[in-house]
């Protein structure tokens, strides 16, 4: 029996190396394709949910009151129907699995938000939180505490104050127009006076709203993950902090969807937060593409760069410019 030459052994080792590398590259390409497909499916589902709200309210473009004129459940149902159909889901179990990847959906406007979250089942007195249901919570109005006052930032400003009259606790409510006259009012005490007359009042209130929304999203995401952990599902997902770039989420009606934990090829999982401006009609969205290494934004009707992948969507030219995108030479000139 002839001994195998070292040259053959070396060739086999080299071939094995290339086969393994080819397999890794193939797996990575598969993941990238799956990730891109899922991102598009999520964006379409959120857009369909937004469109259902606009159609149900018969309001397009400027829609500050849209969440007050419709049932938010329409958007939730449309989101899951759209996403499920795209993914080929058909059964109740399929949709239950799909909802397990969505800890929170928020429908947000300039006065507050609705949340679609996971909650313990009715009558479940166990401490482990093993069982849970999905629920659409009543709208929460943005608020803050100033001294012994609670201020609600609705369409009008409501100030709730706890006072003692005739030895009894009494609640007093005062309302003011939510406009530029707030700084000109005379308030009950110095704390309120300082709050409403601070020079950065508008930006400060925006930050308070963002913090309240972020805390709510974090709270219900953590609660959902605790329920999932008791079912043997562990998420390694950090909620990305909301920053000042998110001011549009509290100035205009938006849908925010947190999607996490769906398994992909090679052990990857998708974790993402999608937002969509309800007030913008489909035709008003600006499309961001990378063309030969240069970032461009185009009108949705532009055909110049349709062969290039959509990497971002914007609702105005200012946001596109802030993200480093240039106006398309075809549709903006």
Per-residue pLDDT of the chain (333 residues; tens, 9 = 90+): 445 454 555 555 555 544 554 444 455 566 667 777 788 888 888 888 887 777 655 443 344 444 555 568 888 999 999 999 988 888 888 888 888 888 899 988 888 999 999 887 765 544 444 467 888 999 999 999 998 899 999 888 998 888 777 777 788 888 888 777 787 888 878 899 999 998 988 889 988 998 899 899 889 988 888 877 776 666 655 555 665 566 666 777 788 888 887 777 666 777 788 877 776 555 566 788 888 888 998 887 788 877 787 787 776 677 788 888 998 888 876
Cβ 54 vs Cβ 281: under 8 Å = yes
Angle at 278 between CA 63 and CA 247, to 5 degrees: 90
* pLDDT for the residue numbered 105: 92
The pLDDT value given to residue 239 = 57
- Structural domain includes residue 51: yes
Same domain as 333, residue 227: no
Residues 6 or more apart whose Cβ sits within 8 Å of residue 25: none
Neighbours of 139 (CB within 10 A): 16
Token digits of residue 269: 């999982």
Residue 221 CA to residue 273 CA, distance in Å, equals 12
149 located within any domain? no
Question: Is residue 166, in this structure, part of any structural domain at all?
Answer: no
**Residue 74 is part of which domain span?**
6-135+210-280
Beta-sheet pairing, 149-153 with 156-165: antiparallel
Cα separation, 59 vs 209, in Å, equals 25
Give the three-state DSSP class for 120. Answer: strand
Residue 31: both structure tokens together: 């993941």
User: What Å distances lie between residue 272 and 9, 29, 39, 164, 259, CA to CA?
Assistant: 46, 19, 9, 49, 5
The whole-angstrom distance between residue 255's C-alpha and the CA centroid of its chain comes to 6
Report the domain count for the chain: 2
Parallel, antiparallel or unpaired: strands 104-108 and 112-120: antiparallel
Q: How far is CA 67 from CA 41, 111, 159, 307, in A?
A: 24, 10, 23, 36
Tokens of 259: 């999607």
Say whether pTM exceeds 0.85.
no
Residue 117 contacts residue 224 (beta carbons within 8 Å): yes
Q: Is 126 inside any structural domain?
A: yes
DSSP letter, residue 185: S
Q: Measured between alpha carbons, how far is 327 from 333 in angstroms, rounded to an integer?
A: 8
- The verdict on 326 and 228 lying in the same domain is no
Give the pLDDT score at 80.
92
Q: Which of 265, 280, 295 is the last residue of a domain?
A: 280
Greatest CA separation for the chain: 110
For 266, the token pair is: 């090679």
Are residues 318 and 258 both part of a single domain? no
Q: How many CB atoms lie within 10 A of CB 276?
A: 23
Q: Does residue 85 sit in the same domain as residue 130?
A: yes
pLDDT at residue 246, rounded to an integer: 66
Task: Based on the fold, state whether residues 302 and 220 are members of the same structural domain.
Answer: no
Same domain membership, residue 69 and residue 39: yes
Query: Is residue 129 domain-shared with residue 55, that is, in the same domain?
Result: yes
Let me know if residue 142 belongs to a domain: no
Residue 163 has φ and ψ, to the nearest 5°, of -125, 160
290 and 266, same domain (yes or no): no
pLDDT at 125: 45
Tell me whether residue 298 is in a domain. Answer: yes
- Contacts of 218 by beta carbon, 8 Å cutoff, 6+ apart: 239
Regarding whether 47 and 66 lie in a shared domain, the answer is yes
In a domain, 33, yes or no: yes
Residues 118 and 218 in one domain: yes
* 323 and 299 co-located in one domain: yes
Is there a domain that residue 201 lies in? no
Residue 129 sits in the same domain as residue 245:
yes
Rounded-to-integer distance, Cα 245 and Cα 262, Å: 27
């Amino acid at each position: 029996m002839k001994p195998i030459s070292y040259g053959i052994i070396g060739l086999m080792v080299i071939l094995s190396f290339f086969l393994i590398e080819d397999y890794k590259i193939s797996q990575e390409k598969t993941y990238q394709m799956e990730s891109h497909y899922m991102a598009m499916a999520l964006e379409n589902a959120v857009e369909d949910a937004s469109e259902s709200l606009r159609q149900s309210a018969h309001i397009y473009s400027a829609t500050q009151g849209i969440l007050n004129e419709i049932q938010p459940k329409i958007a939730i149902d449309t989101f899951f129907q759209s996403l499920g159909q795209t993914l080929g889901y058909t059964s109740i179990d399929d949709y239950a699995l799909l909802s397990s990847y969505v800890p929170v959906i928020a429908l947000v406007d300039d006065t507050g938000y609705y949340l679609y979250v996971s909650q313990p089942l009715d009558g479940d007195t166990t401490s482990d939180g093993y069982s849970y249901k999905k629920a659409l919570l009543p709208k929460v109005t943005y608020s803050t505490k100033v001294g012994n006052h609670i201020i609600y930032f609705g369409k009008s400003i409501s100030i709730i104050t706890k006072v003692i009259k005739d030895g009894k606790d009494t609640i007093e409510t005062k309302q003011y127009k939510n406009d530029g006259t707030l700084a000109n009012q005379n308030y009950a005490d110095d704390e309120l006076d300082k709050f409403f007359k601070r020079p950065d009042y508008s930006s400060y209130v925006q930050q308070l709203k963002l913090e309240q929304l972020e805390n709510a999203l974090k709270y219900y995401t953590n609660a959902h993950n605790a329920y999932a952990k008791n079912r043997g599902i562990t998420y390694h997902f950090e909620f990305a902090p909301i920053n000042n770039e998110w001011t549009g989420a509290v100035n205009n009606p938006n849908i925010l969807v947190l999607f996490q934990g769906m398994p992909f090829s090679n052990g990857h999982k998708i974790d993402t937060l999608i937002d969509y401006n309800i007030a913008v009609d489909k035709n008003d969205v600006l499309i961001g593409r990378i063309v030969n290494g240069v970032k461009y934004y185009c009108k949705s009707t532009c055909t110049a760069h349709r062969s290039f992948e959509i990497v971002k969507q914007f609702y105005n030219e200012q946001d596109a410019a802030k993200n480093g995108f240039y106006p398309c030479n075809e549709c903006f000139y």
